[in-house]
Amino acid sequence: MSRRSGILEFAVLGLLRESPMHGYELRKRLNTSLGVFRAFSYGTLYPCLKTLVANGWLIEESGNAPEDALAAPLAGRRAKIVYRLTAEGKEHFEELLSQTGPDAYEDEHFAARFAFFGQTSRDVRMRVLEGRRSRLEERLEKMRVSFARTRERLDDYTLELQRHGMESVEREVRWLNELIESERAGRDLKGPASGGPSRHDTTSGAPGVLPRLGDTPGPDTPDDTAT
């Protein structure tokens, strides 16, 4: 399994733990709630769902209400499939939540992990935050050394771009320090109004803005039916 597909499976399991959804709902939630998936190919979602079903972590159910059972054939449309997390799927997701290996500190994986911090135990949150901070501090040191070595050979615009990259990493380190301090003090974030996850992002090389629930989504794709 590639790292990218592993992140997608993690996110799908996490969203379905909240409630069953059909594919279109999942696509919108992945697109609007998790910035890491704003550019992902929708063609990768259904193979991912099929894999999770085959593993016994999801089940497929008909999404049509009883009164609509005859309407779908008449309209030439197939019933939508709703995906529901199984007990085994919930157990598997909880196991994934407990993992704090190096992958959890990388840009895309960290963004997905952070989105589900509300379902993660405090000790695991601390390990992931501290690991992410350590990873960024190493990255920042390398950026500073590179900047010092090459600044005399670069034009002003390239230098400004490098400064912007370093400042972005510095901002995220400060943000992580605030989060770690809050965790140590036993304080939980209560949502976007707290100023935590709503103001930072790690979905690309340089952090930016972590999208909040309800942010304007990208262009909708045609409504799906079965799979």
106-110, 164-168, 194-198: which has the minimum mean pLDDT? 194-198
- Model confidence band, residue 108 (pLDDT cutoffs 50, 70, 90): confident
In the chain, DSSP assigns E strands to: 21-22, 58-62, 81-85
| Whole-structure pTM value | 0.72
pLDDT tens for 112-171 read 899 999 999 999 999 999 999 999 999 999 999 999 999 889 899 999 999 999 999 999
Q: What is the pLDDT of residue 72?
A: 44
Report the C-alpha gap between 199 and 91 in whole angstroms: 31
CA angle 117, 118, 121 (to 5 degrees): 70
In 14-57, DSSP assigns E strands to: 21-22
How far is C-alpha 174 from the chain's CA centre? Answer: 21
| SS3 label, residue 10 | helix
